[in-house]
Amino acid sequence: MTTVISIILVFGVLVAVHELGHFLVAKAFGMRVNEYSLGFGPSLYKHKWGETQYALRIIPLGGYVRLAGMEGDKTGDPREFPNRPLWQRFLVVLAGPFMNLILAAVLYAVSFGPVGIPTATTTVQQALPHYPAYEAGIRPGDKIVNIDGTPVTNWEELASAIVAHHNQVMDVTVVRHGHRQTFAMKTRYDKTLHQYVIGIKPQVITIHLNPLKALVAGVTQTIQLTGAWFFALFRLLGGHGPFDLTGPVGIAELVSQAAQSGLVQLLLLSAALSANLGLFNILPIPVLDGSRLFLMAVEGIRHKAMDPDRENMIHFVGFVLLMALVLVVTFHDIEHLFHA
């Protein structure tokens, strides 16, 4: 039950926040918004406040915004979306993906701050019997500070140093009860992990950043993820990367696994999914926000809007092709689940 709720919350919040971006900017520019809805299908509750209807619908996955003039109901009202200046329409469409990036940064900040990130340290929690570290004399509580003369300050540096000494003898310096001791040992290949190890498990602590540092770290993480996303996209377009998409079923499985792993993993996954949703939406694919942004950019160059019927046909064809792609990816995800 917890897993189902987690899936509904993640899918619902990501899409609802995306639509909230369109809604807030449209309202800020004085456009008429007919409806802001959370969910799809028949309404469970709806209330009209001012000129906008707010609705909670039965299928709790996402939501949508209906802007006046975008569904063939144009009346010449200057507050309708198509009649607003180009730059305002551009920002309204862009606000959806941008809100997903904002949400990603906030979720990362919450993870790094109030919730805290479990972090492996260089202090030994367990030295596995019959492995090199135990046989050399390493014991729980020892803090590893040096590998072959090179200081190590975190688990990543320690793990890299161990892998770098594959099948070699190395000197491991630890601090035990305030005193330094050095032990010589040879790494061993672990067939399960497929790498060289010395047989230790790290002590894990939860690190909480203060609010400002957590926010900076959240923004930094989002920027880094965005850069990696574009780098992967350019490699893919250049034929140098794998074409591997995950559909709704695959994402639901990832959310399920993260929910079972704990709140931190669920927040981190939700942040990554939010950023990816925002970035994917700026691609110039018909029916996505990126397609509307592209057409408005063309309008700005031509100083003339595209014929509405032609634009609607482009979005319709794009929707059909996108749904076909979703079905193919979903079939692949289901097949992967049965063969996992």
At 45-61, the pLDDT tens digits run 999 998 999 998 888 77
pLDDT band at 194 (very low <50, low <70, confident <90, very high): confident
Write down the pLDDT at residue 237.
73
> Percent of the chain beyond pLDDT 90?
51
Mean pLDDT estimate for the chain: 85
Catalytic residue among 19, 51, 71, 80: 19
> Which pLDDT belongs to residue 283?
87
For the cut 60, the answer to whether the pLDDT of residue 337 exceeds it is: no
Least confident of 19-33, 44-58, 237-251: 237-251
Q: Report the C-alpha gap between 119 and 42 in whole angstroms.
A: 45
Tokens of 180: 């330094």
Q: With bands split at pLDDT 50, 70 and 90, how would you rate the model's confidence at 210?
A: very high
pLDDT computed for residue 35 by the predictor: 93
Per-residue pLDDT averaged across 32-57, rounded?
90
Name the region of 257 (left: φ>0; alpha: ψ -120 to 50; beta: rest): alpha
Question: Can you tell me the distance from the alpha carbon of 85 to that of 71, in angstroms, rounded to the nearest whole number?
Answer: 18
Alpha carbons within 13 A on the beta-carbon side of 141? 5
Q: What percent of the chain has pLDDT over 70?
A: 83
pLDDT of residue 219: 96
Annotation says 157 is catalytic: no
| pLDDT above 80 (res 309) | no
pLDDT in tens, 313-322: 766 676 676 6
